[in-house]
Structure 1
Amino acid sequence: MSAAAPDETCPRCGSALRCGVADAGPCPTCSGLALPAALRQQLRQDYTGCLCRRCLLELGAALLGEPERRPVDPPAR
């Protein structure tokens, strides 16, 4: 089965996403993510739509006090 085309935009960062919460199978965006109950509650209060996987991971890391992961620039030659 091929991936469905994006049908929504993440309200936090504006990237395209495919929310599958109403589909028969697992949602491709949030399937497998273990989001703390406090974060899920905060998301319901702050947003009316689904967030992309990257934003969910960033917010989960921030809630748990983990440092934000950013790509490291290669050393200058």
Structure 2
Amino acid sequence: MVGKFERNKDTVQEFTESAAEHVGRIVVIIAGAVRDVTREIGDLITDGIEMREASKKAERDAPLGTVINGEFETRER
């Protein structure tokens, strides 16, 4: 027959093991979420950089002036 102390010890041990297992799973979930959010933020910043570079390239490629009423008007960069 198992005494009260040993039953309590077994209960605490089981609970501690269960809690550790659940906390471990939660940590894995949180770590994965942090990784995914970080990746998305990085991709968003990369997209912004690429758009800025494309805008600058398009501006450089644009003609320096336009023809209005047969006259070529220049613009400054």
Pairwise TM-score range, normalised by the shorter structure: under 0.3
TM-score, normalised via structure 1 length: 0.23
Higher strand share: 2
TM-score, normalised via structure 2 length: 0.23
